[in-house]
Each structure stands twice: as structure tokens, then as C-alpha cells.
Amino acid sequence: MKRLFDIACSLAGLVLLGWLILLLAWMIRRESDGAGIFRQSRVGQGERVFTFYKLRTMRSGTAHAASHETPRAAVTPLGARLRHFKLDELPQLWNVLKGDMSLVGPRPCLPTQRQLIEARRERGVFALRPGITGPAQIAGVDMSDPERLAVLDAAYLREQSFFGDLGLILKTVFGGGRGDRVRS
């Protein structure tokens, strides 16, 4: 049921918001050099690496590192607004439609985040598809605290439900959580 819900919502989101994704990508390109859509390798279900899509919020040439390891100065003015309203996540609807991600689940990490990968492996978290949002984002826990994040991800693995996912989606849409933060 979760996969059918993911397909229906991501397809509807792409149809309804595809114009917005294209407009924002165009605005990003006008503001700074580089592509409007950012691609990065992330670790997903079964520890399989996949290509992750986001609207680019950082200056072109910024090192591929976790957000909490990236200086605030790397974020563009438009990127800061996109991150604040979580609009930078919209291209991940394509990842959901393809089956690399789900609407709700643990956030996918970089292959270089070995401590988080190990903590998630120990707790069986890689049985899940990664998500656009999840309990850790609502709680404001980012990847700078790998052990705490893995504990929350494992709790989601044990307790996940369709109505619980709906609640997390609604909390995200209405401003709950802070997600990943850049370094000050």
C-alpha cells in the first residue's frame, strides 16, 4: 500500500508541480552558474547507491559534503529561501516515482558518511527506502548526530504505519521540522 501511495502522490506532484520545478531551476541558473537541478550519489535501501535529485541551493563548485559540514556562505540567497520552504526537495518526487525513495523514511546519506551507515546497518534501517521526510526531520535531528539519527530511523522502522506517514507528511507540509542545517 505504501508503494502505491508513493507512486500516486509523486506522479500527481510531478504533474501539478513540474512547472514550478522547471521555473525554480531556471531561476537558480539565472542567479548563479551551474545546473538548476543538483545530482548526488546517496545510499538507499539495501545500501544501494542511487542518484539523488534536488534543486541546487549552494554555489556551483561547493564540495560534495553533508549539509552540516558545509559553510552557510556556500548557500545562495535564492537557495536559502528554497531550503526554508523545503522547495529544494521537489525533484525528489522523481526519486520516489522511480522507486529509489519513498515520501516518508530515513533521509538518504552520502556514501562517505561511514559512521551513519554503520549505525543504520546495525539497526536494520537499510531495509527501508529512504524518504523525503521522516520523524528525524520533524524532530530537527540532522546527520550531524549519526547515532541519535539511526535510533530514530530504527524506531520508525519498527513503528511505521500508513496513518503515521500521513501525519509526518502533513507536519512537513505545514512547516514541521528543520531538516539538515548548514554550518554557521
- What pLDDT does 180 receive? 55
The CA-based dihedral angle spanning residues 55, 60, 61, 65, taken in that order and rounded to the nearest 10 degrees: -30
Lowest mean pLDDT among 42-46, 60-64, 114-118: 60-64
- What pLDDT does 110 receive? 95
Cα→Cα distances 97→126, 129, 134, 170, Å: 19, 12, 17, 19
Which secondary structure element, helix H or strand E, spans residue 37, and what is its range?
A: strand 37-43
Return the percentage of the chain with pLDDT > 90, whole number. Answer: 74
- What pLDDT does 102 receive? 98
Return the percentage of the chain with pLDDT > 70, whole number. Answer: 90
- What pLDDT does 97 receive? 98
pLDDT bin (cut points 50, 70, 90) of residue 74 is confident
Lowest mean pLDDT among 50-59, 70-79, 103-112, 133-142: 70-79
Q: What 8-state DSSP symbol labels residue 127?
A: G
What average pLDDT does this structure show over 147-161? Answer: 96
What average pLDDT does this structure show over 35-53? Answer: 96
pLDDT of 111 strictly over 90: yes
